[in-house]
Amino acid sequence: MLLDALLFGVAFYVAHRVRSHWQFEILGGSKTIAPFSEYAWLLLLVIPGGPFVLRGYGFYNRPLVPSRRLTYWQLFKSCAALTIALVLVLWVLRSDIGRSVIILFGALSFLFIGVKEELLINWRRSKFGQSFIERRLILVGTADDADRLRADLARGRHDGLVLVAQLNLNEAPVDKLVDLLHEHSANGVILTAKHTYFGQIEQAIEVCEREGVEVWLLADFFKTRISQTTVDVFMGRPTLVFRSGPEVSWPMMVKRVIDFAGAAVLILIFGVPMLIVALAIKLTSPGPVLFRQLRSGLNGKPFTMLKFRSMVTDAEQRRHELEVLNEMSGPVFKVTNDPRVTPLGRFLRRYSIDEWPQLFNVLRGEMSLVGPRPLPVDEVKRFDDLAHRRRLSVKPGLTCLWQVSGRNNVRDFREWVRLDLEYIDNWSLWLDLKILLRTIPAVLSGTGAK
């Protein structure tokens, strides 16, 4: 991380030097730029921020010798995200710093760190590098578990890992491990066994402690289908964490900053139009301007969602009259050409203008710009499949995969949930950006809510 931080700083300096001597313009910008002294303060963001963005995209969690495809894809996303973040910072601060320097910085960062990765990959694969990273491992476990692990290792590429011996817990005592460690000069032990062998596993760990040999315990004795498993420490005790939603990470923190900044900027932009819409609602139909409803937020916690009122004031009381016309399966209620919608409300819903007040929900931290759409509390209570509640494991959003995937054509609630869970399982800042970009044409084309 320190080396990458240095390379980010060098890339920024070189970008300015190149731009100073190579005069060109981007999108009508000026051909001349200010001296580096006016750019130097950005190094306070670039040098510490670069490695943390890489870390957020999993760059430092790759295998010892990762594939080039994985390396360059994560590096590209990180450099692109850092470049966009710098552009947003300069835009918010109304700085006149040349954007060409920032774009060049992103490209040079990708180049410099990419070259460093190539050198590291080639070093690790060399005979000299292998001598530094070689792991001589002893496999300890039952015969079935050990054979399965051997097969997994044979299928994958694990440079530097050498299995020098195997101890079958069904046939040999744990004390035999001491002889194997001495005979093969092993510097690591892999433990793989079911929970019924916990006593022998504990003995094996004690042996390795005395020998000063590292132990890798494969804690796959709990079979999970969805959850991702991580290791943490709780009150000084090693802890396995099973998580089926996005973990708290730097990208999640960046997402929250983007939500707050994006909502604040959009409220400023739409401030006057929202006042005009509010006045139009007040003049065209009796009742309040805003519609307030309890919706299920993060982990099902209720919050009051805001919308411009697009229906008559007694819409909730008349809903039971239209239940037979419901076009959605499951607990959700959707009707095309709902007679409760006012003429102005039909226009507002068509272009999603009625959703604008939810920017205040985003500003308050109750919603996000991107996430599963929040459902009314009573509809969530009617979920007939508890697995559907996993869509509540992230904050609800203004837009989501369902809305940019032809939401007027989705009539099966299970398909709606499938899209939400697909978003949760594959979440990244890059996915959020793609959904936001796809939302713009979806809104302008008028494929809004029914």
* CA–CA dist 274, 267 (Å, integer): 9
Of 30-34, 275-279, 286-290, 403-407, least confident by mean pLDDT is 30-34
Question: What mean pLDDT is predicted for residues 3-17?
Answer: 91
Whether the predicted pLDDT of 289 surpasses 90: yes
Whether the predicted pLDDT of 432 surpasses 70: yes
Taking the complete model, does pTM exceed 0.85, yes or no?
no
Q: What is the pLDDT of residue 26?
A: 55
Q: Of the candidates 237, 220, 238, which has an alpha carbon nearest to the alpha carbon of residue 229?
A: 220
Q: What is the pLDDT of residue 10?
A: 94
Give all domains of the chain, ordered by start, each with its CATH number: 2-127 (no CATH), 134-221 (3.40.50.280), 250-444 (no CATH)
Whether the predicted pLDDT of 278 surpasses 90: yes
Mean pLDDT of the chain: 83
Q: What is the pLDDT of residue 33?
A: 73
pLDDT tens for each residue of 216-259: 887 766 666 677 777 777 777 777 777 777 777 778 888 888 99
What element of type H or E holds 181? helix 176-184
pLDDT tens for each residue of 388-399: 888 888 899 999
Q: What is the pLDDT of residue 309?
A: 93
Whether the predicted pLDDT of 168 surpasses 70: yes
pLDDT tens for each residue of 341-369: 899 998 998 888 999 999 999 999 999 99
pLDDT interval class at 65 (50, 70, 90): low
User: How far is it between the farthest Cα atoms of the chain?
Assistant: 89
Q: What is the pLDDT of residue 133?
A: 62
pLDDT tens for each residue of 115-163: 998 888 777 766 665 556 677 888 888 777 777 777 777 665 555 677 8
Whether the predicted pLDDT of 175 surpasses 90: no
Q: What is the pLDDT of residue 11?
A: 93
Q: What is the pLDDT of residue 21?
A: 76
Q: Are strands 135-141 and 228-234 parallel, antiparallel or unpaired?
A: unpaired
Whether the predicted pLDDT of 447 surpasses 70: no
Q: What is the pLDDT of residue 357?
A: 96
Q: Which residue has the higher pLDDT, 78 or 240?
A: 78
Q: What percent of the chain has pLDDT over 90?
A: 26
Which contacts (CB < 8 Å, 24+ apart) does range 414-421 have?
Answer: 414/329, 414/330, 414/385, 416/328, 416/332, 417/388, 417/391, 420/372, 420/391, 421/390, 421/391
* CA–CA dist 87, 76 (Å, integer): 17
- Report how many helices (DSSP H) and strands (DSSP E) the chain contains, helices first: 15, 10
pLDDT interval class at 446 (50, 70, 90): low
Q: Which residue has the higher pLDDT, 104 or 335?
A: 104
Q: What is the pLDDT of residue 30?
A: 54
